[in-house]
Amino acid sequence: MMERMRVVVILGTAVILLALSARLGAQRPSDDPEPGIAESLAKERAARVSDLRYSLRFRIPANRTERITGHATIAFILADAGKPLALDFEPNGLGALHLVNIGGATADAPLRNGHIVLPPSALRVGANSVTIEFDAGDASLNRNDDFLYTLFVPARAHEAFPCFDQPDLKARWTLALDVPDGWETLANGAETARTPGEGRTRLTFAQTQPIPTYLFAFAAGTLFI
């Protein structure tokens, strides 16, 4: 009798543990990438993503205590759309994610462990376009009262804006900066247009040749005058 009761208790405990495990699994999606940029994640993305292009726009306030707002359109060819795709974005509490749009439709793409997880239901094999509205992180922008400059080496671009922050995914970059009047700017591409208005100036820069995230750069401020 005691032996039978012991077996019943063991079986009951096993059932409870299995139920708890399943519940925890539901609360922690297995598709969530780990914090940081693991080698396995980088290899997986390099095998899936090609023909990468970034179009970035930043509005830089005169007051360094105000957030830098950003807009990114990331276009790429995807070889496999059967599983989530992670973009890197870790603004260290100083930035925020506001909107993710994939292929013209708003997407449920949460920010988890320093990554924006793009759902496979919104992706497709072939050409994809992801538009993101965000507040930029400051850590790798080196903000001062009247200037800033980027320093994305070795893999710090994702501390400022969403991207695939790995050196083997080179991309063509297009940049626009909206800065206070009196500020000058530098970037990888040549300046192509300058439009003043309402105490600010918007500048656009030519598309670059394919370069990795750590070589993408810009600076803005009064130091260049």
pLDDT in tens, 137-166: 999 999 999 999 999 999 999 999 999 999
Mean pLDDT value of segment 210-225: 91
The residues, any chain, with a CB within 8 Å of residue 14's CB and separated by 6 or more, are none
Residue 24 confidence (pLDDT) above 70: no
Looking at residue 94, what is its pLDDT? Answer: 85
Domains located in the chain, CATH noted: 40-221 (2.60.40.1730)
Mean pLDDT of the chain: 89
Interatomic CA distance for residues 140 and 155, integer angstroms: 10
Strands 171-180 and 49-59 come out as parallel
Interatomic CA distance for residues 118 and 187, integer angstroms: 29
Q: Exposure string (b/e) for 111-129, b if CB count within 10 Å is 16 or more?
A: bbebbbbbbeebbeeeebe
Cα radius of gyration rounded to whole Å, the chain? 22
Looking at residue 67, what is its pLDDT? Answer: 97
Mean pLDDT value of segment 122-133: 98
Question: How confident is residue 224, by pLDDT bands cut at 50, 70 and 90?
Answer: low
* Inter-CA distances, 106 with 37, 85, 94, 146, 203, Å: 26, 16, 24, 36, 28
Residue 18 confidence (pLDDT) above 90: no
Looking at residue 154, what is its pLDDT? Answer: 95
